[in-house]
Amino acid sequence: MRTSWADSVSAAENTAAGSSANDGVGSSSRHAKSSYVPPHLRNRPSSSDLPAPGPAPGPAPALVPAPAPAPALSGSSSSNDRPGYGAALGGNRWGGPRSDVGRPGYGSGGRFGGGGGGWNNNRGGWDRGREREVNPFGDDVDTEPEFSELENTGINFDAYEDIPVETSGENVPPPVNTFAEIDLGEALNQNIRRCKYVKPTPVQRHAIPISLGGRDLMACAQTGSGKTAAFCFPIISGIMNGQFPQRPRGARTVYPLALILSPTRELSCQIHEEARKFSYQTGVRVVVAYGGAPINQQLRDLERGVDILVATPGRLVDLLERARVSLQMIRYLALDEADRMLDMGFEPQIRKIVEQMDMPQPGVRQTMLFSATFPKEIQRLASDFLSGYIFLAVGRVGSSTDLIVQRVEFVHESDKRSHLMDLLHAQKANGTHGKQSLTLVFVETKKGADSLEHWLCMNGFPATTIHGDRTQQEREQALRSFKSGATPILVATDVAARGLDIPHVAHVVNFDIPNDIDDYVHRIGRTGRAGKTGLATAFFNESNASLARALAELMQESNQEVPAWLTRYAARSSYGGGGRNRRSGGRFGGRDFRRDSSFNRGGGGTDYHGGGNSSGYGAAPGGYGGGGYSSAWD
DNA sequence: AAAAAAC
């Protein structure tokens, strides 16, 4: 009923502040968590809007989302909010047979009509509305890739082969070696072919079966490892195949089934673009919402229907407070770059979104948490947000390959500009032109970015810049202009350090070296994407001494040539307790802390079924090994 | 210390 959900939302608003006494740490047991009812949902007549907790998410058959009883939305008289491409399908896993009438004007009959679940599915009927959908692949939609084309994409799949992977948790579903082994459905398979993906990356090989098995997932993986597809495929497949209760449709509020949170606007845009490709002609609607852009277009997009919502936290909180979005129907939650989001101070907003609005509990929804590192704060988040999860650690991309050639050059502060100029001239002369060869230059400050951009332009190098002082429009324009090659040099702050997938970045220059080795790893990860080779040059001088040790170790680890002078710096800084990097010596961003006997919370899932190579663990001198997680590193 | 993120 309209009043029902409206009340729910307004109640949520009214009590959000007071409900922050959420149990937080210490209730990692899923039973404790699943019986928890958020304050704003207590005392509701029939608790009819929130699905009751489902049974323990044990090994479930593939393609079955985490089970949950029906929420039995009372009296809603309208259908779900997506344009239907669907044919009816029997049975409704979430809500049982429904008698609701389909929303007129869309598709071919009620998607929930007449006892049929009515969600489109890949076994038929979804194509009836295909003309409606803008083709995200451009012109070559119906071009089936030739085998030779596949080889020409430049994706070096062998480069992924020796990336170490480790899993732990109870009953870990075995990894797959090909997409064909997984029944993702024909529509999705076709999109995978259109994307020219031939073979799953390591994170995909493991994460997709885990997720399709209905399990929660904590994954330590770098961007560039194929994460986006790893969480999108199971979500899209689950939505296509799953039966969901009818979503109430008020005039304004929409009820997505999946939520993907990411730290930056550009990353959200990128995930949205990728997810749209993956969901092309599946009938699954993906919408993005982020700040800095006019909200009206986003509201219109939402009103046209949303299954998967990709968002940055701030804008989502805004939408939730305006009651334009309800999380009541969320079945899939993915948090990307979780460590980054915490670094950026998003924890309160994320906890508000996940714990204090109307999102179903862990175990009812399926949750995937992605993070490059696994520090204490993320472990806490994992305990609070996940239920009986599987831990997956994928080695750093590039850690065991030579995909990225790293160079470190000693450049005094005052020489940096002319040195950069030399590099750019050399690059120009090297004959790489004709083909786009993009250079991404990282600097420390927004001011520095502007002034370097200006200087480059004055000196005949078309450059643009991206940083947080620019408007969202300027940022997006800069990114477009860079990607297109119109300005083949992009000067950036760390806003662009993580996750952005820009093809053809041949060279990453760390004009200013970051203070955190993780940031360095992320920055150089903007090149050498998808198995292509790339070059990363860092300008090192005295002011970077504190990073010398971590940098030298990282380079050594990835089979790079470490200059003798850097080794000397590294030796010096190691005495002074420098190199406070978080994970030197390891090839993973973290390890499953549940394996440590000292960590006792009574939560389940301490069994270790490690099938992977664990040699990257334990060697960390002050990493996460050893059980004690003192905060000495912060 | 700087960066990012809602209006």
- Residue from A438, A487, A484 nearest A465 by CA: A487
Task: Give the tens place of pLDDT for each residue, A520-573.
Answer: 887 887 887 666 678 899 999 999 999 999 899 888 878 889 999 999 998 886
Lowest mean pLDDT segment, chosen from A38-52, A124-138, A150-164, A347-361: A38-52
Checking if the pLDDT of A61 tops 60, the result is no
- Residue from A605, A580, A611, A609 nearest A593 by CA: A605
Instruction: Give the number of other Cβ atoms within 10 Å of residue A355's Cβ.
Output: 20
Of residues 468 to 507 in chain A, which lie within 7 A of strand B by their beta carbon?
Answer: 468-469, 493-495
Give residue A568's identity as a one-letter amino acid code: R
State the pLDDT at residue A499: 64
Of residues 75 to 134 in chain A, which lie within 7 A of strand B by their beta carbon?
Answer: none
Protein-to-nucleotide distance from the CA of A171 to the C1' of B5, whole angstroms? 39
Q: Can you tell me whether residue A539 is helix, strand or coil?
A: strand
Protein-to-nucleotide distance from the CA of A341 to the C1' of B4, whole angstroms? 9
The average pLDDT across A401-418 equals: 87
Q: Using an 8 Å Cβ cutoff, are A111 and A84 in contact?
A: yes
Average pLDDT over all residues of chain A: 71
State the pLDDT at residue A3: 32
Q: Using an 8 Å Cβ cutoff, are A274 and A232 in contact?
A: yes
Q: Which nucleotide is nearest to A447 (CA to C1')?
A: B2
- Residue from A245, A283, A8 nearest A126 by CA: A283
Checking if the pLDDT of A86 tops 80, the result is no
Q: Which nucleotide is nearest to A470 (CA to C1')?
A: B4
Greatest pairwise CA separation for chain A in angstroms? 75
Distance set, CA A307 to CA A279, A283, A409 (Å) = 11, 9, 49
Choice between A46 and A325, residue whose per-residue pLDDT is larger: A325
Nucleic strand B near CB of residue A13 (< 7 Å): no
Protein-to-nucleotide distance from the CA of A147 to the C1' of B5, whole angstroms? 44
Choice between A202 and A116, residue whose per-residue pLDDT is larger: A202
The average pLDDT across A296-308 equals: 94
The average pLDDT across A394-417 equals: 78
Q: Across the strands, what pairs with A371?
A: A220
Fold (CATH) for A404-575: Rossmann fold (3.40.50)
Q: Which nucleotide is nearest to A444 (CA to C1')?
A: B2
Protein-to-nucleotide distance from the CA of A22 to the C1' of B7, whole angstroms? 27
State the pLDDT at residue A308: 97
Protein-to-nucleotide distance from the CA of A271 to the C1' of B7, whole angstroms? 24
Distance set, CA A374 to CA A41, A152, A159, A592 (Å) = 32, 36, 25, 8
Checking if the pLDDT of A5 tops 70, the result is no
Lowest mean pLDDT segment, chosen from A109-123, A240-254, A406-420, A492-506: A109-123
Protein-to-nucleotide distance from the CA of A209 to the C1' of B7, whole angstroms? 41
Lowest mean pLDDT segment, chosen from A154-168, A312-326, A492-506, A539-553: A154-168
Protein-to-nucleotide distance from the CA of A428 to the C1' of B1, whole angstroms? 35
Checking if the pLDDT of A60 tops 50, the result is no
Checking if the pLDDT of A93 tops 50, the result is no
Choice between A294 and A591, residue whose per-residue pLDDT is larger: A294
**Which tokens hold the place of A373?**
């590192």
Contact positions of strand B to protein Cβ (< 7 A)? 1-7
Q: Can you tell me whether residue A371 is helix, strand or coil?
A: strand
Nucleic strand B near CB of residue A274 (< 7 Å): no
With distances taken from each CA to the C1' atom of nucleotide B3, the closest residue turns out to be A494
**Which tokens hold the place of A492?**
């950036």
Query: Any idea which architecture A1-15+23-62+148-397 has in CATH?
Result: 3-Layer(aba) Sandwich (3.40)
With distances taken from each CA to the C1' atom of nucleotide B4, the closest residue turns out to be A344
Nucleic strand B near CB of residue A601 (< 7 Å): no
State the pLDDT at residue A626: 27
**Which tokens hold the place of A172?**
């870990």
Nucleic strand B near CB of residue A543 (< 7 Å): no
Domain borders along chain A are 1-15+23-62+148-397, 404-575
* Confidence class for position A382, pLDDT limits 50, 70, 90: very high
Q: Which nucleotide is nearest to A290 (CA to C1')?
A: B6
State the pLDDT at residue A183: 84
